[in-house]
Each structure stands twice: as structure tokens, then as C-alpha cells.
Structure 1
Amino acid sequence: MGDAHTAGSVPAQDGALEQRWWIYRGTGQPLYDTSLGALLPPPPPWRRFTGGPVVAPPPADDEEIERRLGQVSASSTGSDQLRREADMVNAALLLRRPLLVTGRPGTGKSSLAYRISRELKLGRVLRWHITSRTTLRSGLYDYDAIGRVQDAAALRTLRDAGAGADRAAGGRAPSEEELPGIGDYVQLGPLGTALLPHEVPRVLLVDELDKCDQDLANDLLSVFEEGQFPIPELLRAQRQHPRVTVMTDDPRRDAEIVGGTVTCRAFPVVVITSNGEREFPPAFLRRCLRLRMPDPDRPQLVDMVMAHLRDAVEGPPDSARADGLVDRFLRNSRERGGLAVDQLLNAVFLATSGRFRGDNEEALEDLVDALWHRLDGAGAESRAG
């Protein structure tokens, strides 16, 4: 009885069960000697896209991923929550559907996108931070019409000024062809870049969608369903410029757009986060997979502390102090309506910095109490205040 495993499951190294159908395992370890392209089966027929020409692989961004996740380390994969998380990430991968992640602020919703990118080796995460003023177009692309008009006016001035000199010297005045092409005034946003025809899916983080204007969720439906979007400025110019190279959201990267329309090839891994400040339309929810992110448990918090501050907490005194702070954090989080993981990391960093020894212990206690203020704004003052 004790040695029997669930059908379709295999034991992980720490005794947890991993499902055979999983591609993403949530272990924190990057794929070894393989790639997502080799592991990912074809999409459902209704989610098949054929955009082209295929663009270059995305740039790596290991520095940003390490800043957000800490060093690569094996995570504790035994909890029901982490297995549920892996189930939903893999379902989103196979079905080519967005994953809507809800939960309290500070529970690690956004970090999931970076964990997926690191483990599946998908390169730089495209992050689209949503505010009340965000529009669909801002995520798709930006067209600098004013800059183009100014450059055209400057060209005309230069041409008019040079006409007399050209006649006298036999030279050539600048032509319209010498004006930078329309592509120099178009830059794709995070969503637009994610929908380029990549051979392997990009990771797109749509952060805090619940902050958006009420129409944005509905506007996203068409883009997510069609896997493409037009750029009207390029459509109008396609007779003269059927293939246009534009800038992307990736630094110093560009891509070729054919016929004025961006069409994806591999639907991106879309992670949408929400703090639950508003309800989304039923039609939007129907097209998303949903994952509720609960507060991290003690093993997860220890994993996070070790990933970010392993060197600082290796010695016995600092290790014991960090353990004590984790336990205290869990108690305070329950009492104060939930705290954020970065509040714990800040406290452990200060406690293991070597700046609070002997007589300074009381000062540290006051500081930690101030750091762990309620996220609704109450109790932000330290006891000394």
C-alpha cells in the first residue's frame, strides 16, 4: 500500500508525485538536454496558427530572472498547491490558452511567469503592466506619427535648402526614399511582440489586469482568439511597403511584418495576474484557465529565502535567525490579514546583514514590526513611533 503510486504518476526525487503528462514540473530546474519545442505536442485544431516568417529566438534575460527568483535551486514540490499549479500551467501549455492567476498581493503570482520561463528556457519574459489608463493598442504597438511628420518636414526643409546648391554644384537633393522607413516609427508592445511568429512560445506576463478599464478584458478576447492583429498604419502602406521591419519590445531587436498584420505561430504562454479587485466578463473567463494562488506555506517560504539569500543564512546563527523570522512571519501574516513575501525577504536580509548585534536587537525588532505592516495601510508605524 505504501509503495503504490497514482496511475500516470512518477515519484519525484523528494517523494512528491509528478504526472507523466507534465512538461512544466515546477521544480525550479531548467530543462536539461531538451527543449520545449521538442516536448510540446501539436495544438488543438482550433488553436493552430501559421504566422510567418519565423522570427529569431528571444534574448536570454538570466539576470532579471535571477533578480526576481533568486538562484536556481530545487523547490519543494510536494504540496497540493504546487501540484495544482503544475497541472494548470501544463494544461495552458497544451491547450494554448491564457492562465488567469488570482490571489492576494505578494503571494508570488507574477513570479510564476518567470518560473515558467526559467524552467522551460523560454528567454526574456515580456511584461505588460496594466493601469487604469492602459489600452489594448498600448500592449500591441505604438506608432510615432508626430516623429514621422517632424522628420518629413525636416527632409523637405533640407531638400528646399539644398536645391539651389545642387543646381550650382551638380549634386543631388535628398529624396523621399532617404526618409527613414515607416517601420522606424512603429514599435511593438509586449503583447504585440508575444504574438510574433515565434517557433517556440514566448512568456507574456499581463500584470494586474484587474486594474484595467472595464473594456480592456473584452478587447483582449479577439486578439487571444484570433492570434493576430492588424497595424492600420502598415496596412495603408502595404502596396509600397509589403514587408516592413519594426522594432519590438525586446531591447535592440526588430521583426519583419508582412502585409501589415502580425500573426502568431506558437501561441504565447500568457500569465494574467489579478488581485481580485474586479470581476471579469464571463466570455473572457471562458477563454482562460484559472489558478488561485494561496499564501505560500512554510516550505515554500524557506525555498524563497534560500534562493535569494543562501549565502547570508548558511551560518548557524543566521540560519536559526532566518528560521525564526519565517515562523514569526507566518503568525503575523495570519494576524494582519496577509503579508507579502518581499516583506519577509526584507526582514531576513536586515537580520542577517551583521548590522544588528547585541544592543541593536531591540532596534531590529522594531524595524521588522514596521516592515511587516498590514497591506491595507493600517499599522504601518513602528512601535517606537
Structure 2
Amino acid sequence: MTFDVFKGRSAIEVVTRTPPDPRLASAMTSPAGYIASKGLANAVNVALAIGRPLLLTGEPGTGKTQLAYRLAAELGLGEPLRFNTKSSSVATELFYQFDNVAHFAASQLAALSGKEGADKAVEARDYIRYSALGEAILRSHGLEKTALYRPRVRPHAVVGADGVDPPEPVPVQPTAAVVLIDEIDKAPRDFPNDLLNQIENLEFAIPELGVQCIRADPDFSPIIIITSNSEKQLPDAFLRRCVYHHIEFPTDEVARRKALQDILDERLKGVVALDGQGYQDALDAYFFLRDLRDVGKKPSTSELLDWIQSLQRCKVDWSQPAAAQADRFLACLGVLAKTESDKQALGDFVSQSAGRRR
């Protein structure tokens, strides 16, 4: 197989790794290749019309996160401002983070230096970093009106030298932004409840700067997309403030095959030969694993895309059945199968059943 780089045996022979095909990488991540169902598009439009956050649930890998990138692209708002929720997240981190330790240390050093005005050179705003929703609210007012809340621009500062990185460039004029709050169900139990008023009123306070309330300009309100893998139930009060949509994987054989075929066509046309027995066998292998009664983990849509990409890199001949080139298919099983039993079942299917229509 021409994609073999790592040998893992015998004498070490240094080889040059061929980088991933940029066409494939772009096709997999480009918002242009995203396809929203009619129901999902309706949910987005309702959320936009009434100014409510859109809460998306569904299996991992069904396109919840990528929707935010597609929406931002269609609205001409650049990339979304993303907040990746963690098990340790607290509500204020959605708006900003303040480095108390670095600020205190700088203040102490300034006081000990004895230089006139040294204490005034230490400003709290230099130790604040705005997160997704806080940054979006500031952007709704434009740079000039929010300059006093932002870290000072210090072009000669060395990144990290004093504990504060120079701020990222922000739009000068007021603008809306798409905010992605990803996997909110990973957060602690009180996280959604602590956001109720801030999410509804699109406002937050910055006590460290003596700011009691900054509220988004209604003409440029942030557009909020919230995703959840349904690992835990969200509070009713939080759900009441959202427009809800579940991205459902089709159960009907014909409907789901057409839905996935449309996605593959949109993303991979011109990059992968989307026909032939080998290609159909690759799809059959994916559906076989999803339909397996005792499957450990059902593969997602994103894993299907990775499966096709890995087979393409493995130089699979899409015109030939999988059983005739089983070694190439078997080499890529770990893209779809994530448990040993799943991998064994999928390997048996590829070796014995692929190429025969079910």
C-alpha cells in the first residue's frame, strides 16, 4: 500500500511523510460542503427571527458544531467565537477570564520598584481575556466604545513575557458574531442555571474593572448556537430560553442512504470517485456497523467521511469490490470501529460479505 510510512520493525529507514491531500482536508471542513435538513434550517431561521439561542442535540458527529461555521459563513460574519465547555467550567468563563495571580504579582512588583507612577502602569484590563460570548457582546458596540475594557495594545511586548499576551485584532465597526457554546452538557450542574439572565439579556459584568453591566447592542446581537450530546438533562428554565432541534439520523434505509449520499456528494465530488462497487461496499460496511445489534459504538457521519478519506489515501480502487482488496479495507477499520468486538465484526463483513448486496 502506497500510504505505508511507519514500518515498526527491522532496521530504521527514514522516510518522508506525504502530507494529507489538501483537497480532502478542505472538503472535510469547508462550510460550503455542509448540508442542513429542512427541519434544521427552519429551526435556525426561527432562532434568528426571535433572537433566541438555538440548542442542538444529536449523536456526536452529526454536524452540530459545523452548523455554526456554516451559519457564520452565510451571514458573512467570519468564523464563530467558540467556547468549549469543560467539566470544570464556570459561568463567568463564557464571558471572560481574569488572571488574578499575574495582576497581583505585577502590582506588588510595581509597588516595590519605587518608581513614580509605576503602580498606574499596571492596569487590570491588561490581565483580562474575553471569551466567546463576552467578546461577541463587546463587538456589538465596536472597538472605539469598548477600548477601555480591552487590554492595551503593546506592539513591542514579548508574548508571555509578563503573563499577558497582546490582544487579538478585533473588528473596528460594530458587528454581530456567531457564538458557539459546544457540548454544554459537559459543564457542572449549575452552569446552565448561572447563565439564565445573561443569556436572555445578553449582558455581563466585569467587577475587576468596576463595570456593572455591558449589554449587547440589539442591532448587532450575538447569534448563539449551543450543542449538547444529551449526556445530561438541561434545566427547564434554560430550555425555555432556547429554540430546540434534534439532528436525527434517518432510520429508513432509503432515506438515510440518500441523506448520506448527498453529504458525500457535496463534500467529496471531484476529489473521490463516488461510484463503483468498492465505494458501495464502503457505504455498506458503515451501515452494517450502525445496524449491528450489539455494536459498542455506532459510527457517526463524521466517521463515515473519515472512512472514505482513509480508503482514498490507502489507494483503494473504488471500481473493485472490497473483498478483492480486503487488505486495504482492513487496514482502515479503526476509523469506523472503536471497540475490539466491533472491529472484529466489521473485519469479517469486509472479508466475507462485502461486494454482495444485502
Q: TM-score, normalised by structure 1?
A: 0.64
Q: Whole-Å Cα distance in 2 between the matches of residues 145 and 68 of structure 1?
A: 40
Quote the residue 1:96 is aligned against.
Answer: 51
Q: How far apart are residue 217 of structure 1 and its match? A: 1.1
Q: Would the aligned equivalents of 2:314 and 2:328 in 1 still touch at CA under 8 Å?
A: no
Q: How far apart are residue 135 of structure 1 and its match? A: 0.6
Q: How far apart are residue 351 of structure 1 and its match? A: 1.6
2:241 counterpart of 1:284: no
Distance change (3 Å), C-alpha of 1:215 and 1:68: farther
Quote the residue 2:278 is aligned against.
Answer: 321
Unpaired runs of 5+ residues, structure 1, are 1-64, 160-172, 236-258
Distance change (3 Å), C-alpha of 1:74 and 1:102: closer
Unpaired runs of 5+ residues, structure 2, are 1-24, 141-173, 251-255, 349-358
Quote the residue 1:134 is aligned against.
Answer: 89
Quote the residue 1:363 is aligned against.
Answer: 327
Q: Whole-Å Cα distance in 2 between the matches of residues 202 and 175 of structure 1?
A: 39
Q: Whole-Å Cα distance in 2 between the matches of residues 83 and 325 of structure 1?
A: 27
Q: Whole-Å Cα distance in 1 between the matches of residues 28 and 275 of structure 2?
A: 26
Question: Between Structure 1 and Structure 2, which shows a larger proportion of helix residues?
Answer: 2
Name the SS for the 2:138 alignment partner.
Answer: coil
Q: Whole-Å Cα distance in 1 between the matches of residues 71 and 336 of structure 2?
A: 29
Quote the residue 1:195 is aligned against.
Answer: 137
Q: Deviations over 1:219-257 (max 9, x none)?
A: 11111122111111111xxxxxxxxxxxxxxxxxxxxxx
Q: TM-score, normalised by structure 2?
A: 0.68
Letter of the aligned partner of 1:204 in structure 2?
Answer: V
2:100 counterpart of 1:145: yes
Quote the residue 1:184 is aligned against.
Answer: 126
Q: Would the aligned equivalents of 2:107 and 2:122 in 1 still touch at CA under 8 Å?
A: no
Quote the residue 2:151 is aligned against.
Answer: none
Name the SS for the 1:191 alignment partner.
Answer: helix
What pairs with 1:262-341 in structure 2 (closer than 5 Å)? 262-265=214-217, 266-295=220-249, 297-314=256-273, 321-335=278-292, 336=295, 338-341=298-301
Name the SS for the 1:128 alignment partner.
Answer: strand
Q: Give the superposed CA RMSD.
A: 3.1
Letter of the aligned partner of 1:348 in structure 2?
Answer: I
Q: Whole-Å Cα distance in 2 between the matches of residues 89 and 137 of structure 1?
A: 26
Q: How far apart are residue 380 of structure 1 and its match? A: 4.9
Q: How far apart are residue 74 of structure 1 and its match? A: 8.2
Q: Whole-Å Cα distance in 2 between the matches of residues 90 and 315 of structure 1?
A: 32
Q: Whole-Å Cα distance in 1 between the matches of residues 201 and 64 of structure 2?
A: 26
Q: Would the aligned equivalents of 1:306 and 1:313 in 2 still touch at CA under 8 Å?
A: no
Quote the residue 1:26 is aligned against.
Answer: none
Q: Whole-Å Cα distance in 1 between the matches of residues 109 and 279 of structure 2?
A: 62
Q: Whole-Å Cα distance in 1 between the matches of residues 200 and 90 of structure 2?
A: 18
Quote the residue 2:145 is aligned against.
Answer: none
Q: Would the aligned equivalents of 2:85 and 2:182 in 1 still touch at CA under 8 Å?
A: yes
Q: Whole-Å Cα distance in 1 between the matches of residues 212 and 127 of structure 2?
A: 14
Q: Would the aligned equivalents of 2:61 and 2:302 in 1 still touch at CA under 8 Å?
A: yes
Q: Deviations over 1:290-329 (max 9, x none)?
A: 1010126334423443454444314866xx5334423432
Name the SS for the 2:337 alignment partner.
Answer: coil
Name the SS for the 1:292 alignment partner.
Answer: strand
Quote the residue 2:73 is aligned against.
Answer: 118
Distance change (3 Å), C-alpha of 1:182 and 1:100: same
Q: Would the aligned equivalents of 2:56 and 2:244 in 1 still touch at CA under 8 Å?
A: yes
Name the SS for the 2:224 alignment partner.
Answer: strand
Q: Whole-Å Cα distance in 1 between the matches of residues 237 and 274 of structure 2?
A: 53
Distance change (3 Å), C-alpha of 1:121 and 1:303: farther
Q: Would the aligned equivalents of 1:134 and 1:213 in 2 still touch at CA under 8 Å?
A: yes
Letter of the aligned partner of 2:223 in structure 1?
Answer: V
Distance change (3 Å), C-alpha of 1:174 and 1:308: farther
Q: How far apart are residue 112 of structure 1 and its match? A: 1.2
Q: Whole-Å Cα distance in 2 between the matches of residues 88 and 289 of structure 1?
A: 7
Q: How far apart are residue 201 of structure 1 and its match? A: 2.8
